Chain A
Amino acid sequence: MTTHVGRRVPRVDAREKVTGTAVYGVDVRLPGMLHGATLRSPYPHARIISIDTKAAAAAPGVEVIVTGRGFPFIFGSAIKDQPFLAIDRVRYVGEPVVAIAARTEAQAQEAVDLLKVEYEVLPAVLDPLQALEVDAPLVHPDMHTYDRGPHEIVPNTNINTLWTFERGDVQAGFAAADLVVEDEFTAHALSHAALEPHVAVARYEAATGAYTVWVSTDRPFQLRGELTAALGIPSDKMRLIVANVGGSFGGKNTLIAESIAVALARYAGGAPVRVEFSREDDLVATQTRVPAIMKIKTGVTNDGILTARSADILWDSGAYTSNTVGVAIRGSSTIFGPYRIPDLALVARQVYTNRAITGSYRGYGTTQVTWACESQMDMIAARLEIDPVAFRIRNAYEEGDSYINEQIMHGVGLRESLERTSDEIGWGDVDRRPAPHLRRGKGIATMIKPTATPTSSNCVIKVEDDGRVSVLVAAPEIGSGQATVLAQMAADAVGVPIESVVIPPTDTAFSPFNGPVASSRTTYHVGNAIRMAGGDVREKILATAAEVLGFEPEILELVDGKIVVEGESVTTVAGLLGGFGFEGHSVTAEARFTTRGSPLLKAPPPYDWMSSIFWMFATHAVELEVDTETGVVRIIKVAAAQDVGRAINPMTCEQQIEGGVVMGISNALFEEFKGSGGRIENGSFAEYKLAAMPDLPEIIPIIVESDHSEAPFGAKGVGEPAAAATPPAIANALYDAVGIRITDLPLTAEKVLEAIAEAAARDGE
């Protein structure tokens, strides 16, 4: 019996968001709150010789000054390599060196200007290829001594991640091919540019040694873990509270403003300290997408069957690894695309450079490798003179195929996504020259993505005596609509109207554990925990009803908040539990859902860890127009299909798909950091352009549904794949329109114009 799942239920956060009452991290205000400001490194690599804080300490309103030496802790997820504030050495332009808390933000900023730091400038590593040179300066000479996880590093180099993968015999695979192509692609750094900047408010109570931090993050339990590990304190001494998050896109999941706020709070005598990044700092001195240089070699037969692929990928983590190690490994593994290719080989390396930190970005590495894989697929199709859609379908995964680690793939709606997008875009039918200076073309690209596996989610459901159903889950609403789909699933699992479901804000002191709101995992994992706890709480309510009303439990049903006997409502949940009066009656149930041990994950070692509990597929088809006089590309239409399993809420699925396309267009055509000497110089939205309303094409979201036996109400994840396929689909459409192939993102008007001129010169020869 399903009453809410599958419907276009209005978002449960709608009212507070359209009335301006929704509380975000930036809105947290506490009595006696101080304001933080940060002095940042002007150099990509330098030794700190001295820090003079005297003048700043005497400035009006200043309450706390803290340096790296004063709070000498180190954090990191895969490698503990990052200080809260630079200790003795700075490793990127913009690295926090000294933090000051004052009574007002202006006072803090004025005091920062009075700080004097003496540096000895050191030779810097400014690009990942330089990082690999034998005599390159080492960004972390002591890397091999750091606490770290099990992944491989190369000591005494800048290589902080080395991962290789092989299947079959790649040389034999190339030998069996009629055509072997080898190409190089680069994917650039991108800002997440969530409109809510990085912000945190931290308070420290000396009497108990406990911190409370109001954060804007998608990873409350994981950030708590990084903080407690760094500071060496138990979990109850670090409480994180999350309200609404004003966008994350993978960017709000490491310690950014949080680490500075915590360091200041430690010395603020119990006063809360608020740290908010300016837009400039947010753009130039926080996590970006991990840039990648990808060499990819593919063998194919004349009739378009892929035989082998090898790839060599170089990732640039920037000065600290943040969460890039996982990106480099999981991201690299998807460069083989959603295709059956028998023989494979991969070398992935990630290097430190003296550049701003990088990290996860909507898609966790798949946006970069999809750019390479899907651009090359069209280059191969052109060489073989076969249709790009037919070529993809010929090699595309189908239900029951083996993934590269031999996991049997389940829930594969890939082919349908290719067919429906190409139909919707009118594949093969292009008005090529609508005006003398305009050319049109169409292009397609597809993608595959795993979700983090195994991970777990817990849920506690609490039914109050007025019939309200509180669903306690640590799943902050980052914008992607999960509060709504979780409420829909809870309403159906328990048997109550959605209006009586409440999802309180996440508080690590009360919310049960959850993995991150990342990897498009929330609907599936938290949804399963809700389904389990919801069924349990329903049984308990019915048992109570049976006892109170004198019925056999088997004949009772809970429908829309009513206790029903043979189709007749005998009371409501509120009537039943409220009837206990002053004695009171609340019903609770809890569940833990983990994907560990699922038979769907079965695969032989050593690559069994690559199995994913569900696989995501998305295909985007683009029609665009190029102005051959200016190089300006205008996207006309995008058909975007995504296999979502079953849509819990078609409207929120569409939001993710449409928003992903806009982000993909923005990433591909407009966004680019500019600067030199390790310094980013375009730290504003005027110079780092995001797609705006006038850039919007017609977007047709297509929801593809596939069966998944363990998914809650059939649902997989939606958020990440939505942005990855757009950039290569645009590049492929550009090729279709004007015969140019650009392999390094972004596809700016200057590059397009230059490539058109080169192509014209070549054709003229």
Chain B
Amino acid sequence: MIELLLTVNGTPRTIEVEVRTTLLEVLREGLLLTGTKEACGVGECGSCMILLDGEPMPSCLVLAADADRCNVETVEGLASDGVLDEIQRAFVDTGAFQCGFCTPGMLVAAKALLRDHPDATPGEIKQGLSGVLCRCGSYTKIMKAFEVLTGRKT
């Protein structure tokens, strides 16, 4: 067992984990932050996307030990004091989800994308979110959400 210090959604957390534990397991099983989902376990679907020191990363591919002393942001950290952030608001208003299983990963990826490209073009949006699969096919409505967020027609 090793002891780690993670800052999760702004709160410092000290946790003990086995060496081979993934960051996804720490979030879901250890910290009960079950918003982050696992759909493939090998980094191919993006349902478990989180921000690791600000960068989008499939948390199933990150060993928890490698996240020691890092900042981790998950879907649970988007709203503050129960108030949805602008991306969540846009997803609600445009209906940019259906079953919602990919939504936590999609929102987190969208946050990084919007931070780096506040004026993202349709091509940049599609590329920036290409790592998150949505089987319900909500992609059109996600583009609409970005129209709201960027003020630019997609």
Contact = CB atoms under 8 A, between A and B. Distances in A.
B122 to A, nearest CB: 9
Contacts, number: 159
B135 A690 contact: yes
A327 to B, nearest CB: 20
Interface residues of B, number: 50
B92 A651 contact: no
A331 interface: no
Nearest to B84: A18
Contact of A14 (B34, B74, B75, B92): B92
B23 interface: no
Nearest to B154: A698
B17 to A, nearest CB: 13
A693 B126 contact: yes
A658 interface: yes
B99 A661 contact: no
Interface string B125-154: 111011011111111111100000000000
A21 B82 CA distance: 12
A266 to B, nearest CB: 26
B133 A655 contact: no
Contacts of A10: 92-93, 95
Interface string B13-33: 000000000000000000001
A17 B133 contact: no
B91 to A, nearest CB: 5
B42 A195 contact: no
Given A17-B100, A279-B42, A691 B92 contact: no
Interface stretch (A350-358, A476-484, A756-764): A476-484
B36 interface: yes
Contacts of A21: 35, 76
Interface in B102-131: 102-104, 107, 125-127, 129-130
Interface stretch (A242-250, A296-304, A451-459, A573-581): A242-250
Question: Of A26, A27, A692, which is in contact with the most chain B CB atoms at under 10 Å from its CB?
Answer: A692
Nearest to A278: B41
A696 interface: yes
A559 B25 CA distance: 49
Interface string B65-77: 0000000001110
A494 to B, nearest CB: 24
Question: Of B75, B78, B125, B136, which is in contact with the most chain A CB atoms at under 10 Å from its CB?
Answer: B136
Nearest to A479: B99
Given A14-B92, A478-B99, A652-B95, A685 B75 contact: no
Interface in B35-77: 35-42, 44-45, 47, 74-76
Contact of A245 (B93, B99, B126, B135): B99
A26 B97 contact: no
B139 A693 contact: yes
A196 B78 CA distance: 22
Given A20-B36, A479-B98, A193 B41 contact: no
Given A18-B97, A659-B137, A693 B129 contact: yes
A207 interface: no
Question: Of B75, B125, B139, which is in contact with the most chain A CB atoms at under 10 Å from its CB?
Answer: B139
A663 interface: yes
Question: What is the size category of the interface that chain A forms with chain B?
Answer: 35 or more
Interface of B, secondary structure class, is: loop
Contacts of B33: 20
A21 B141 CA distance: 21
A395 B33 CA distance: 56
Contacts of B79: 19
B101 A19 contact: no
A685 B101 contact: no
A114 interface: no
A279 B37 contact: no
A709 interface: no
A403 interface: no
Contacts of B44: 684-686
B35 A197 contact: no
Interface of B: 33-42, 44-45, 47, 74-76, 78-79, 84, 88, 91-93, 95, 97-104, 107, 125-127, 129-130, 132-143
Given A14-B92, A246-B101, 13 more contacts: A13-B100, A14-B91, A20-B36, A278-B41, A279-B41, A481-B98, A651-B95, A655-B95, A655-B98, A659-B138, A684-B44, A690-B135, A693-B139
Interface of A: 8, 10-11, 13-24, 26-27, 192-197, 244-247, 249, 278-279, 477-481, 651-652, 654-655, 658-663, 666, 684-686, 690-694, 696, 699
29 contacts: A10-B93, A10-B95, A11-B92, A11-B97, A15-B84, A17-B97, A19-B75, A19-B78, A20-B33, A20-B74, A20-B75, A21-B76, A23-B34, A24-B37, A194-B99, A195-B37, A195-B45, A279-B40, A479-B99, A479-B100, A655-B95, A658-B141, A662-B139, A662-B140, A693-B127, A693-B129, A693-B130, A693-B142, A696-B139
**9 tightest A-B CB contacts, nearest first:** A20-B35, A479-B99, A662-B137, A246-B101, A17-B100, A659-B137, A20-B75, A685-B44, A479-B98
